[in-house]
Every structure is written in C-alpha cells, then in structure tokens.
Chains A and B, each alone.
Chain A
C-alpha cells in the first residue's frame, strides 16, 4: 500500500505533489492546500511532508515517514488550534522557527492546518516568512477555500485545490482501512457527504449515528412555535453535553498538571501570584469549550441541510442519489407535505443560522430562530 493512498480520490493533486518530491525544479516554498471540509487537506499536507522527509520510501513505513505522518517528526511542525482562532503569539514563534535549517530531514516543513482561523493581523506576521523562507523551509497552509486566507498570503503560495472525493471512494477506504461492513460504509460515506473523518466516525461509533438520526428527526417533529423552541433547547443542551463530555475530563487534568507544575500545595489557597496563570488556563478552556459546542451545532445544521437537500431532490424529481438513505421515509413524507419554495427557504434559514453562530450570536437564540423557521407554515 503506497503512502499516497491515504489521500482519497485526488489523483491530480497527488500527481503534482509527487512530482514536486521527485523533481527539485517542481518544488515551491509555500503551498496553499484548499478543499471542502473532510476532503483530506491535512492528510494531504502530512503525506506530502512524509514524502518530503523520506522520498525513497514508497510504502511510508520508515521512521521518518511515520513520525512525519503523526506530526512528531523533528523537522515537521503542525500548527492547529482547538480554539476559534489561531493566536498571534503562537504565530510569532513560527517566524523564527522557519529560519532554522532542518535538523535531520531534508526539509523543514511547517503545516498550518487551520490557516483560515488566522485573523488578518495574525497572518500579516507571517508575510515575510512565507514570501522568502530559507531554501530548505516549506510552508503548507490548509484552508477550506483560497478566499479564506488574506490576499497577501494567497498570492505568496502555490494553490492546490482538492476535490470532494466520490462517496464510493470514501466507502472503499473505510472498508479497506477500518474493516467496516461495505453497506454501512456506503451509507455513512453518503451521509457524511464524503467527509472522510466524519464518515469514519459515523461508521465506527453507533452513538454518533444515533445522534445524527435524532437530528434528522427534528424537521418532522416540529408542529408549532412552542415545539420549535423546546426542540431548540434540547438540541443545544445535547450539544453542550457532547462537547462537555469531550472536554471536562481534560480540563481537570490540565488544571491538576498546571498546579503541580507551579508547585501549588493541594487543597491550600492558591498564592495570588499564581492566580493569573490559572485564570489564563481557564480562559483557554472556556474558549475551547465554546468552539466544541459550535462545532457540534454546526455539524447538526449540516445534517439538517442535507435532509432538506434530499427533500428538494425528491420534490424536483431529479435522479441524483439521496444523502440520507436511512431517512428516506421521512424525506418523502416531508417532500409531499411541503413545496420546493419552502424547502429552499428553510435551507436558507439554516445557512443563515450557521453564519450567525459564526458571528457569535447566542447559540440558543440562533437555534430557536432556525427551528421556528423550519415549522410547517402556509
């Protein structure tokens, strides 16, 4: 199995990257890898980094390739964030890092996984470093679309656009790599709309599948405004629980580790000089929790969008495949009881809610406005 097989359904991009590894003349100092969520941007970046560190290792089994893939190679730096934006201070350290020669590999690779999460001020810090890095440094920036990064950054990079991989290719990957049952793999690949990571989560976690089913049941169960508000409350509550489950334990561990690191006595009052650091940690944790909540809600809204997309497909009688094959029954019922105009209007409302959440609107209020817009109306 070749190293490049992990990049699914992207033959063109793989050809360009493989050529860059082989041929020094085809190499560039900065790449901007774009593509819709789940198309494998960061996987592509990591595989490219592995290939650069171990060009002769076709299978990717060598130590260099494996560590590069895992993001632990000494010359491969992976920048990602669990907060909503990448901090300017985190970015400044990259500038000096970029000037250092690789310590063991052939290249110093800096992968910025969420380049779209840099504000303009933050990305300005990187302008010089990206424009003219030392000869053996290469930047790999990942973002959903070229428009998501500042123009000045975009113009300094070579752009590579990933396609949405076909659902069958994703299903094949799940069957081959994770040993998922082929029927389930296809259903999940379709439901995740070829988002590879999401498809894997759906296929391997029954509770994630159950949550998705619950989200898809929402459109059918809204009968009036009151229901809508109650359902929105439920939705936000479950999302909060999910994001808490993911973070609470870690928060506590981090706090204990920090206190121990600072030499604070357990159970005793924290000396005032150390409180600022604890507060810093708690602020970071709060930001992370918020991002986790927004991510869960956003996922739910994408699922809802796919539901109404299917409804519209049925209403317009077009012969494309449904995304939600498991919910075909309720999709047909919804299609029969509403008009295409309503479906489009509802999809628009969901899209607007996503924008609003991005703009920091109170999640509960935003979801209420959305479920209210989804209610049956004349």
Chain B
C-alpha cells in the first residue's frame, strides 16, 4: 500500500526545515548559501533515512548534456532508491531546461523511488522550468538572503533554541553585531559557541569569543559620528579600515548622511511638507528628523566643510587618506552640539 499522499504547500521557508519533506522533485531557490546548503543536506538526510542504500548522484546543470537526467533517473538493477541533486540551475544549459521540463511534465505526484533536488541560487535563468515546477504544485523552498538585523537576531536565537541552549537577548544582539555581515559566518559562530560552552550563553561569553571583532560599514561609522559619539565612531572607523573598507566610501557615506540632514533641516525651516521634492524616502526623513536633534545650522555647515576637505585629501590632496577620514569623523562628531 502506497504511503498516504501528503502534498506540501509550495513556498516553504528554509528557516523551518521541519516543514521541508521529501517529494519527487524539490526546488531550493534563493541567494542565501547557508540556507540552501542546509535545505539540500536536510533533504538528502531524509532520503537516506527512507532507504539507507539510496544512490546519490550530483549533476552540474551548467555542464549538463542532453539525456543525462533520464540516464541517472532510470530504474536500477538492484532496485535501490535514487536521489539526484542538481546544482547551478541558475546557469543551466538549454539542454537541461528542456529535459527538466519534460521530466516535470511526466512526473507522478506520488513519492516514487527517484527524488530530485534542484538548486537555483540567483537570477531568473530557466524561468520556464521554475514556473512549471511551481505550477505542478511541487514544493519550492525559499532561501531569500537575510538582510535585516532583526531577522539575523531571530535566526541566531533559533540556532541556539534548536540546540536546546539558553541564550540571553543581549548576547544574541552582540553576536550579530560582531559577525552578522555574513549568515554563514554567523551560523558557524553559533555552532562554535554551542560546541565550546556548557552553560547559558551570556553577553560575557560572546565578548570572550568575539569581543575583538566589530563589523563596521561606512554607514555605521557615519551614523555614530552624526550622533556625536566621536570616540566610538573612531573605533568603528578603524575596524572598517582594517577590514578593507575604502576611505573614499567612508567619506561618501558621511557626505550622504549630512546631505539628508541638511535637506530635511531646510524643509523644516520652511515649514513645508513636500518630502517628494527632496528625493528622499519617508523613513529617511523620519530618521533624519530624529537625528537632527542637537544639530545647529552652523554645526552642519562645519561638518559639510570638513567632509569636503577630507574627500579632497583622500583623493590625493593629503598625505594620509586614513588620517583624513579620521579627522573628518572627529570633526563631524564635534560639530554636533556646536552653536
């Protein structure tokens, strides 16, 4: 008797792997490498759970030649299950798309002895095939890049929860600040903390392991400087410089922040409420309004002048580009609160 048919809803999230179950064909789609890897190995684990003798075949869609899929999916002599992982569907050859479409078209919805996993990491190449998969009601696992800090915090917290470990909110926050720019790195850091420590994970623990590291981008430096926290801004700046952020970009970030502040200040000065004229998004304006506290027109003028000087120095007028940016950051931080 065939197993009860369960048809999973299309559009699963890779964040919750319990939902992801084996199907005749599963499409794993999205740009977050870590999640894609996890979903693919989760499916492979399910396949070998089902049949310990499963034969796993890997295909590279970019180098696919006509007929390969049928060859590896055809019945085997000893009747064991077959699990086929096709990677690089985003740069597949035309032959693969053709064969894939034909394969999807004659696929029976029942779980058979062949399971196929397709990895499609970016772009819309092979859209016809992707659409056909979705239309056939086959499961699609979404692995969209995690960009917002809040989502990263949720991801890290889930990692610890899965391992059955208690972790405090500030500790997760500190971890994301330290290694949050790359999800793979964040995942690895969570794994390491889980493996290396025994009790609950506190900010102290995170500090002990990742205390020296801060991921600083140009905009983070600029934000801190504009809040008037000079010392902290310089610390971030040094981190940014030593992790390879270009001084030119740092100056550009400062300049664009100040530009928004000045524009919003001008709008406020006129009492007009036509934000569309400024070419700014509403959240930018809200944020700038909050940040404008403590800024006088004179201070803004001084900050803009300092940043312009730094840009010239970074581009060759000064001797040391890093010193020029550092001085600009300090001057901007000082300019806040000046009358």
A residues with a Cβ closer than 8 A to B are 224-230, 233, 355-356, 359-362, 364-366, 368-369, 372-373, 375, 377
Contacts and interface: CB of A to CB of B under 8 A. Distances in A.
Given A360-B316, A372-B304, A226 B311 contact: no
Contact of B311 (A228, A362, A372, A377): A362
Contact of A229 (B263, B268, B298, B311): B263
B259 interface: yes
B308 interface: yes
A230 B311 contact: no
A372 B301 CA distance: 6
B252 A373 contact: no
Contact of B262 (A229, A355, A360): A229
Contacts of B311: 356, 361-362, 365-366
B264 to A, nearest CB: 8
A243 B228 CA distance: 39
Contacts of A372: 301, 304-305
Interface in B224-270: 251-252, 255, 259, 262-269
18 contacts: A225-B298, A225-B301, A226-B266, A229-B262, A229-B304, A230-B278, A233-B259, A356-B308, A356-B317, A361-B308, A362-B255, A365-B252, A365-B255, A365-B304, A368-B259, A368-B262, A368-B304, A369-B308
A362 B253 CA distance: 12
Contacts of B265: 225-226
Contacts of B307: 365, 369
Interface residues of B, number: 27
Interface of B: 251-252, 255, 259, 262-269, 278, 297-298, 300-301, 304-305, 307-309, 311-312, 315-317
Contacts, number: 80
A360 B313 CA distance: 10
B305 A361 contact: no
Contact of B308 (A226, A230, A233, A368): A368
Contacts of A377: 301
B262 A225 contact: yes
Given A362-B255, A365-B307, A372-B301, A226 B263 contact: yes
Contact of A226 (B297, B316, B317): B297
The 9 nearest A-B residue pairs measured at CB: A226-B266, A369-B308, A229-B262, A225-B297, A226-B265, A365-B255, A356-B312, A361-B311, A225-B300
Contacts of B268: 226
Contacts of B278: 230
A375 B300 CA distance: 12
Given A359-B315, A361-B315, A369-B308, A226 B267 contact: yes
Contacts of A359: 312, 315-317
A224 B259 contact: no
